[in-house]
Chain A
Amino acid sequence: MLKSSLMKRVMAILVSLAFFTTYSLPAYSGIVTTEQLIQEQLESVERSSLVSMLDREEVRQQLVDRGVDPDYAKQRIAALSDEQINEIQSNIDGLPAGSGVVGILIAVLLVLIILDIIGVTNIFSFINPAR
């Protein structure tokens, strides 16, 4: 038991080390990326919060916690802009997640069929609203 929790800790440190070495920005000077330039332009209008490596790591963890393969989570985080990281970090479970119409509960189904017939919703293609 003790052994496994120790192993877990070691793994956690190794994983985060691997993460930071891949993602941390070089400490020396360099080209200012276009994304940063866009951010600069926006900031003259409104000051948005800066996204750190820790924020990215947190969102990566959020993805993994929600069932994403850890290797892919890394790739997915790398593709997101600071703005998107902010958005997901603060509201990952509240944001719309498009999933489609499969797998709705039966009770809900009935309500939706009625709403479909009235024309409020449009889930079922075989129902044409009565109008």
Chain B
Amino acid sequence: MCRVRLAACALCISLVVSACAYHRDNTQHYLNLPVERSQELLETPFFPQDAYQCGPAALATVLNAQGVEVSPQQLQALVYLPERKGSLQAEMLAAAAHYGRLAVRIPPSMDSLLLELSSGKPVVVLQNLGVGSLPVWHYAVAIGYDLEKDKIYSRSGKDRRRADGFRLFMKTWSRSNHWAMVVVSPGTVPVSATEKDYLAAASVLERRKNHNAALLAFEAGTRRWPDSYLAWAGTGNAAFSLSRFGEAEQAYRQALRLKPDRASIMNNLALTLAERGCRQTALSVMECALNRAPDDANLAATYNEIKAFSPGPEACQQLVCGALGPAVSE
């Protein structure tokens, strides 16, 4: 009898000890990251949410942190879906562009979350506070963490400063597949962002015809990813829309150096050249493009449009069709 009790006691103790050890393990892994041991973005504003309004409240929090003065009530019209009593992720990502900011999705991991917080960016996270079959979807804004104390701090619902252990936070966050986004001003690239997610965010500015902001954003993209032909093409598109044709030409040429077979970028370069008075060169670029994609209706239309331009001075840089490597010659 006594032995059984002893064994039970031993079992209890070992369980408690292992639980403690596990507890410490929660943050052990992150000590190797290039981040501060602890961080809390105390300046982050706080908007306690009204009924169901965590989407607008979370968005207002990160937009205000980026210098946009907007209230959750104003954002309701942009991100709240009355019948669903909530906000969709797609609209959370799309709405920041209304205010000339980029909402960038970050990679779904605690590493990215900590990197962003450590670099001073509050992070919107989507959590399922309930369980899979009984979901309680909720947007909160992570504003800090403490690796020693095993805490994540957030502005959440009606709590100005909520503190959760890493394990519990991960549990509710993992149910949204670790969905998270940060909001930045044009010219800044979030530290953890991937090229794809960043360019998608910059494209929203282009879509909304905020070309000044788009130009800043794509240019910043070329500095972070100099080999990204899409970042260069985006820079070209923004410059073109602002009628800055010289810059547009250089950006498109760089994009084609990196990706010589893109007929659609040739299309854009040709339109730029035509605007610069290089009709003949533009036509030769279009011939190159049409060789690659003979059935493309847009290319054919561009070709005809450029034909209608009047001939210019024609001291223009040629494009060597389909050349790999440097695609430019005199």
Contact = CB atoms under 8 A, between A and B. Distances in A.
Interface of A: 28-38, 40-41, 63, 65-69, 72, 75-76, 78-81, 84, 87-88, 92-93, 95-104, 108, 111-112, 115, 119-123, 125, 129, 131
B129 A79 contact: no
Interface of B: 19, 49-55, 58, 77-78, 80-95, 97-98, 126-131, 134-139, 156-157, 159, 162, 164, 168-169, 171-172, 176, 196, 199-200, 202-204, 206-208, 218, 230, 233-234, 237, 240-241, 262, 264-265, 267-268, 271, 298-299, 301-305
A37 B81 contact: no
A100 B53 contact: yes
Contacts of A81: 94, 200, 203-204, 207
B207 A78 contact: yes
B237 A31 contact: yes
Contacts of B92: 98
With most chain B CB atoms within 10 A of its CB, the pick from A33, A36, A79, A80 is A79
B130 A96 contact: no
A80 B201 CA distance: 11
A68 B97 CA distance: 19
With most chain B CB atoms within 10 A of its CB, the pick from A36, A100, A103 is A100
Given A38-B230, A98-B139, A75 B129 contact: no
A121 B324 CA distance: 56
Question: Main SS of chain B's interface residues?
Answer: helix
Contact of A28 (B81, B134, B241, B301): B301
Contacts of A38: 196, 199-200, 203, 230
A131 to B, nearest CB: 7
Given A81-B207, A112-B130, A97 B202 contact: no
Given A81-B207, A129-B168, A99 B86 contact: yes
A103 B302 contact: no
A66 B303 CA distance: 45
B90 A31 contact: no
Instruction: List the 7 shortest-distance A-B pairs measured between CB atoms, nearest first.
Output: A97-B86, A67-B82, A29-B301, A99-B86, A66-B83, A100-B54, A29-B302
B89 A96 contact: yes
B99 to A, nearest CB: 11
B206 A29 contact: no
A26 to B, nearest CB: 10
Contacts of B138: 98-101
8 contacts: A31-B271, A34-B233, A37-B233, A37-B234, A38-B203, A40-B262, A104-B136, A122-B127
Contacts of A68: 77, 80-82
B262 A37 contact: yes
Contacts of B305: 28-29
A90 to B, nearest CB: 12
A66 B81 contact: yes
Given A30-B271, A122-B127, A122-B172, 19 more contacts: A33-B203, A35-B206, A35-B207, A67-B82, A69-B77, A72-B78, A79-B97, A79-B208, A88-B90, A96-B89, A96-B126, A97-B84, A98-B55, A98-B87, A98-B126, A100-B139, A103-B51, A115-B131, A125-B156
B163 to A, nearest CB: 9
B245 to A, nearest CB: 12
Contact of B168 (A32, A84, A88, A119): A119
Contacts of B137: 96-99
A69 B233 CA distance: 36
With most chain B CB atoms within 10 A of its CB, the pick from A37, A66, A69, A101 is A37
A101 B271 contact: no
A65 to B, nearest CB: 7
